[in-house]
Amino acid sequence: MGLLEKLQTQVLTADGAMGTLLYSYGIDYCYEELNITKPEVIENIHQQYIKSGADIIQTNTYTANAIKLERYGLESSVKEFNESAIAIAKHAAAPGGQFVLGTIGGIRGIRKSEATLAEIIAALDEQAGYLLAGNPDGLLLETYYDFEELSSVVQHLRKLTDVPIISQVSMHEPGILQNGLLLNDALHQLEALGADIVGVNCRLGPHHTIQAFEDVELPSKAFLSAYPNASLLDVEDGKIVYESEADYFGRAGVLLRDQGVRLIGGCCGTTPKHIEAVKKRIADLPPIENKIVKKKKVIEIKEATPDQHEPLHEKAKKERTIIVELDTPRHLDTTAFIEGAQILNETGVDAVTMADNSLASPRISNMAMGSILKMQNNIRSLAHITCRDRNLIGLQSHLMGLDALGINEILAVTGDPTKVGDFPGATSVYDVSSLELLQLIKQLNEGISFSGKPLRKKANFSIAAAFNPNVRVLDRAVKRLEKKIECGADYFITQPVYTKEKIIEIYEATKHLETPIFIGIMPLTGIRNSEFLHHEVPGIKLSDEVLERMRATGNDKNLATAEGIAIAKELIDTAAELFNGIYIITPFTRYDMSVELIHYIQELDQQKVGDHNYVKTTN
């Protein structure tokens, strides 16, 4: 009798964690390599679970694909790891006739950039081919946080094989996936794609897993599965531990069965004792045929609070829009910064932009200064946000705070690594790249947390992304722009540009895009400043002509300032003809230089109005 036939009339018990036991043995490297180097250790764990009463065991192949093995330099070992794993499991199961599932683990977490779907399917093809050659009783897809990935994998596998497919999602919050999809809807979609058993595993312990299933309707054809963790994890003396008594886990197995689950196993923290407890509790219980679903109250997501200003990207599609960057202080005296911001605002800029500890050097928080500018001076700010300094928790908290303050214009950037800044020993976080951050901010605009949980109100962010055009092959940079647009970028802000030819090149390369682009203009203050930017700051290159002109000013500060302004005006002449968005970067809090450039742009536009030839309506 096959696996699906047995599930028609029985609630079956699967095994528990493999990694937990290996970790407890002091093994802390690629577990799949043990299929070759220590097969007896793996088989012993299989036998322990079989002895505890498991009807089903899974192969030790969770990360046995080329993408995940690459981190160990073992990507060429996919074949031997998978072939050995299924041989070990089948040998262990042969005496008792337990079912053997070939395990394929999820690859993506929050970071979609870890692998494209094409790369994932290619790795899946290779791994699944070796597992299927070993004649498993089914394929187990586990720990998939990214529903797009799991859906694609299920569809692809269904075309490759008729063996049962068990597809399991993982949730950050009970009953909802990280993209905001309800668990009930996700499982039914997986059933429609061809999965024979649908369920959940990992992240949540028994309590929250049971809670998640309360909203899940019984599938029409598929069966439900659940592999909860032993508990929420804890860390003691640097080691991961799970606090859970086996009997508690066994009682939870009964409650999962009461929710209609027919395949019950364990994930992180579970051991043969946990599986034995489940088996004893559910061995004589028939499966649930009908279920009354406990419908939870739907949380209303309110519309975003309207911004008092038109979003910058909307304005820049129609008319001249000027933003000016003014660095927040490295010290605690904010007098000059606030004075400069007030003068810029009076001059007519659309927003004052503030970097997020640029060049990895600490400054007063742009959230704090943006709040002061807004509340005390009614100045609109644009806050940069890097992925360097905050993990996902900090990023979401920071963004929620910005929304609460009404600071709705933001620039999402990856951020310079800490080693270039004042604290080279500090840690760079980078839980996500700027691409994922764009997607997550757009998710907040739908009122959905990074974890998928409803936030009760939509955010209202207008999101800029960075564009470095100072590269040899501009087409590649434009391809990245297009990818950022797909991820949610509303407009782009460039690094400073120092030649008219580059501005024209940018226009020609991006004129097919409807997304506005703000051309960066940063006036130079002297030859030392110019050479530093050219030789040491990533993403900035000056032309030989510009360097020579600044070199000719010698040590005369006034002459250098005048020449820097003159160069900037020449660049503005070209940029203002081709782009509505101008981004002025204030050097060393010299807002007087920025004010002069703003006046110059305004004069140019007034002349154009007089000529009945106002600014262009795209880019």
Q: How many CB atoms are located within 10 Å of the residue 465 CB?
A: 24
Annotated binding site: 202, 267-268
Q: Which long-range CB contacts under 8 A does 185-189 form with residues at least 24 apart?
A: 186/147, 187/216, 187/219, 187/222, 187/224, 188/217, 188/219, 189/151
Residue at token pair 């700051």: 537
CATH of domain 328-526+555-617: 3.20.20.220
Paired sense of beta strands 233-236 and 239-242, if any? antiparallel
List, for residues 532-582, the tens digit of each pLDDT value.
999 988 778 898 999 999 999 999 999 999 999 999 999 999 999 999 999
Q: In the chain, list all ranges with CATH 3.20.20.330.
A: 3-283
Which residues of the chain are modeled with pLDDT < 50? 614-615, 617
Length of the chain equals: 619
Residue at token pair 């068990």: 166
Q: Starting at the earlier edge strand, list the strands of the sheet with 261-264.
A: 12-13, 261-264, 223-227, 197-201, 165-169, 138-144, 99-105, 56-58
Rounded Cα–Cα distance for residues 42 and 340 (Å)? 67
Run of H or E including 246: helix 246-258
CATH of domain 3-283: 3.20.20.330
Q: How many CB atoms are located within 10 Å of the residue 437 CB?
A: 28
**Which phi and psi (to 5°) does residue 301 adopt?**
-105, 110
Residue at token pair 């005390």: 376
Annotated binding site for Zn(2+): 202, 267-268
pTM for the structure as a whole: 0.85
Residue 551 makes CB contacts below 8 A (sequence gap 6+) with 527, 530
Number of H helices, E strands in the chain: 23, 18
Query: In this predicted structure, what is the pLDDT of residue 242?
Result: 56
CB 438 within 8 A of CB 411: no
Q: In the chain, list all ranges with CATH 3.20.20.220.
A: 328-526+555-617
